[in-house]
């Protein structure tokens, strides 16, 4: 749920305006950022499986350390502690922890049963990805809502603030909505290396925010 995760990060700025956008984005995508590294290290595995669900050609074979519920709760707790330690605010810590946990919740809605409750534990998932129209409808509403909430918290300081944000939204939306009609990845290695692109999202968000101003100060 690429667009959905970005939507939650953008919406978090309405909940806690003092939270830097890049930190919110990093938290919302945290377990996917870990997943890309764990894939390359051989700690987790994925397979290219055409038609695994209607929306994706990937079979998420094993990702217990990044995506099992127990580990995500642990990663969420770590984010909470880091938020409190770095910003001296339990509220910011709670928002960061919630962002990390939200990733599993959204994946639970979209994935077929492949999310472990704990490493080596049973798997779960509601399987929204089995319906292309359902996925586009549900995630599209979430994406639009997150963008709308964020636009209510800030305005562009200059052209960069406007176009950098628009480009991130457009690229995220394009990657997301094109998945069902894109050719399958050529190899598992391509999936692993391609997943690293998400590491660009937090610095991109930081660049955006440097060129925007909070509406509360306008």
Residues 6 or more apart whose Cβ sits within 8 Å of residue 193: 40
Question: Is 80 exceeded by the pLDDT of residue 218?
Answer: no
* Residue at token pair 């994935």: 111
Q: Could you give the number of structural domains in the chain?
A: 1
> 14-49 burial, b if ≥16 CB within 10 A, otherwise e?
ebbeebebbbbbbbbbbbbbbbbebbeeeebebeee
- 122-178: pLDDT as tens digits: 999 999 999 999 999 999 999 999 999 999 999 999 999 999 999 999 999 999 999
Q: How far is CA 152 from the centre of its chain?
A: 21
CA distance 12 to 151: 12
Token readout for 143 is 């994406």
Beta strands in the chain (DSSP E): 45-48, 58-62, 115-116, 123-124, 154-156, 212-214
Q: Which of 41, 9, 57 is nearest to 205 (CA)?
A: 9
- At what angle are helices 30-41 and 21-28 packed, to 10 degrees? 60
Question: Is 50 exceeded by the pLDDT of residue 99?
Answer: yes
CA distance 113 to 127: 7
- 110-133: pLDDT as tens digits: 999 999 999 999 999 999 999 999
- 197-214: pLDDT as tens digits: 999 999 999 999 999 998
Torsion angles phi and psi, residue 76, rounded to 5: -65, -40
Q: How far is CA 148 from the centre of its chain?
A: 17
Enclosing domain of residue 111: 2-217
């Amino acid at each position: 749920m690429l667009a959905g995760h970005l939507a939650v990060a953008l919406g978090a700025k309405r909940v806690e305006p003092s939270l830097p956008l890049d930190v919110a984005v990093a938290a919302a995508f945290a377990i996917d950022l870990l997943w890309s590294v764990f894939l390359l290290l051989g700690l987790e595995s994925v397979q290219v499986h055409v038609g695994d669900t209607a929306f994706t050609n990937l079979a998420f074979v094993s990702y217990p350390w990044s995506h099992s519920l127990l580990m995500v709760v642990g990663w969420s707790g770590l984010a909470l502690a880091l938020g409190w330690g770095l910003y001296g605010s339990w509220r910011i810590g709670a928002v960061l922890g919630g962002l990390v946990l939200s990733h599993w919740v959204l994946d639970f809605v979209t994935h077929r049963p492949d999310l472990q409750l704990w490493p080596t534990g049973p798997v779960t998932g509601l399987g929204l990805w089995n319906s292309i129209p359902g996925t586009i409808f549900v995630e599209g509403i979430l994406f639009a809502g997150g963008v709308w909430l964020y636009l209510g918290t800030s305005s562009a300081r200059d052209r960069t603030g406007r176009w950098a944000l628009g480009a991130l939204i457009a690229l995220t939306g394009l990657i997301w909505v094109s998945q069902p009609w894109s050719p399958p990845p050529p190899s598992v290695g391509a999936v692993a290396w391609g997943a690293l692109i998400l590491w660009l999202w937090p610095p991109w968000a930081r660049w955006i925010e440097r060129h925007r101003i909070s509406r509360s100060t306008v």
